[in-house]
Amino acid sequence: MKAKFLIPLALFGILVVFLAVGLRLDPHEVPSPLINKPAPAFKVTQLEQPELQFSPEDLKGKVWLFNVWASWCVACRQEHPVLMEFARLQVAPLVGLDYKDQRKDAFGVLRRSGNPYDIIAFDGDGRVGIDYGVYGVPESYVIDKAGVIRYKHIGPITTEALQKTIIPLINELKKS
Amino acid sequence: MKYLYALLLVLIACGGVSAKEAAQLADDPVVEQRLIAISEEMRCLVCQNESLAGSRADLALDLRRELRGLIKQGKTDDEIKEFMVSRYGDFVLYRPPVKPTTWVLWAGPFGLMVVGVVALFVYLRRRNSEIDTAGLTDEESQRVEALLKEGEK
């Protein structure tokens, strides 16, 4: 009976645990239902050569990183040096999707800070973005040799995420 | 007074006009009505506390455009829901579907209620039986007398 006074304390402890876990969850990171599903097909023009088209089919048989960005996206500027580093390492093709943007604005950004992308697809009206479940730029997808989405990174890629998650995953997928 | 009344009327009329301008109406009111009915049941992913119907976020505008297109193509509500869920997951739905991962969510409150009712019942039963049996010992009744006398002074 003496331990009765411990009950509120225990309840309080449980509440604290719940709140502590809740504080660490980011409600903006919505798990994507597209993981382990085939990457949605599309065919759009390229940013730099509007006469050429790009489709995910073109990269079948390769593991690649698909990065959704835009010139108006502030967080993309923060991510940019990490993508430059990724391009320098030559791990896998880096394909950009210029999302809801104006071509000339995108050119401005690439001229000012460099172009890490091998190919950039242009998605002016955001339809490709919708098919990929994009809701906050930047977002990145790792797509495997069979054209299946294996990983989605929401928000700017950090050096840590690149080194600890994305590059090891790409290397792993390349072996299979 | 008359002037004030007139001024009030004018103000109300103006208010009505600007409200009409602010509303975005598509060419087809039937499509628009269905769009509102469907998108009110969905969460905007950018401003997560707003419905897709009410949000002014760019993505919400685009998604409403897509849904409008689907409605015009004659898709059913379920097909439109599937369009959204296949892209953004169950998170977009304000009413999550009943499936193994959401059983706790749906049944949990009722489970807790049953536990509470049972606990209350047990507690009341026990308290009742205590009232019936518990009398005062001699020592206690003497103390009661003493306290009552003290109170009378």
Tell me the percentage of chain B whose pLDDT exceeds 90: 42
pLDDT at site B12: 53
pLDDT at site B150: 87
Assign A142 to helix, strand or coil: strand
Handedness of CA A175, A58, A77, A110 (dihedral sign): positive
The fourth-level CATH superfamily of domain A34-175 is Glutaredoxin (3.40.30.10)
Q: Where do we find the tokens 């903006």? A: A28
Split at pLDDT 50, 70, 90, the class of B133 is: low
Mean pLDDT of chain B: 83
pLDDT at site B23: 44
B137 vs A147, B124, B147, CA distance in Å? 84, 24, 15
Contact A141/B at CB under 8 A? no
> What average pLDDT score do residues B63-80 get?
92
Please state whether the predicted TM-score (pTM) of the whole model is above 0.95. Answer: no
Q: Where do we find the tokens 């296949």? A: B86
* DSSP 8-state symbol, A137: S
Strand-pair category, A64-69 with A119-123: unpaired
pLDDT at site B2: 61
Q: Do A133 and B88 touch (CB under 8 A)?
A: yes
Q: CA A169 to CA A83: how far, in whole Å?
A: 16
Choices 1.10.8.640, 1.25.40.10, 3.40.390.10, 3.40.50.300: CATH for B2-96: 1.10.8.640
Residues A135 and B93: beta-carbon distance below 8 Å: no
Residues A168 and A150: beta-carbon distance below 8 Å: no
Q: Whose CA is closest to A69, among A79, A59, A60, A61?
A: A79
Look at A44 and B21; give whichever has higher pLDDT: A44
Helix axes B58-72, B77-88, angle to 10 degrees: 140
pLDDT at site A36: 94
| Residue of A30, A100, A125 lying closest to B88 (CB–CB) | A30
ipTM metric: 0.80
> What average pLDDT score do residues B141-150 get?
89
Question: For the segment A54-103, what is each residue's pLDDT rounded down to a tens digit?
Answer: 999 999 999 999 999 999 999 999 999 999 999 999 999 999 999 999 99
Check pLDDT > 60 for residue B104.
yes
Token pair of B77 as six digits: 């509500």
pLDDT at site A31: 85
pLDDT at site B70: 92
Q: CA A126 to CA B71: how far, in whole Å?
A: 19
Question: For the segment B16-44, what is each residue's pLDDT rounded down to a tens digit?
Answer: 444 444 445 557 888 889 999 999 999 99
* Residue A40, H or E segment: none
Q: CA B114 to CA A22: how far, in whole Å?
A: 26
Contacts of B85 in chain A (CB under 8 A): 33
Tell me the percentage of chain B whose pLDDT exceeds 70: 80
Check pLDDT > 60 for residue A176.
yes
Q: Whose CA is closest to A157, among A70, A98, A92, A69?
A: A69
Assign A127 to helix, strand or coil: helix
Q: Do A33 and B85 touch (CB under 8 A)?
A: yes
Residues A156 and A137: beta-carbon distance below 8 Å: no
Check pLDDT > 90 for residue A141.
yes
Check pLDDT > 90 for residue B48.
no
A135 vs A100, A127, B48, CA distance in Å? 12, 12, 11
Contacts of A132 in chain B (CB under 8 A): 87
pLDDT at site B139: 87
- Smallest CA–CA separation between A134 and chain B, in Å? 8
Handedness of CA B18, B19, B25, B29 (dihedral sign): negative
pLDDT at site B13: 53
pLDDT at site B86: 93
Residues A157 and A77: beta-carbon distance below 8 Å: no
Token pair of A138 as six digits: 């930047």
Phi, psi of B128, deg, nearest 5 = -60, -45
Check pLDDT > 90 for residue A150.
yes
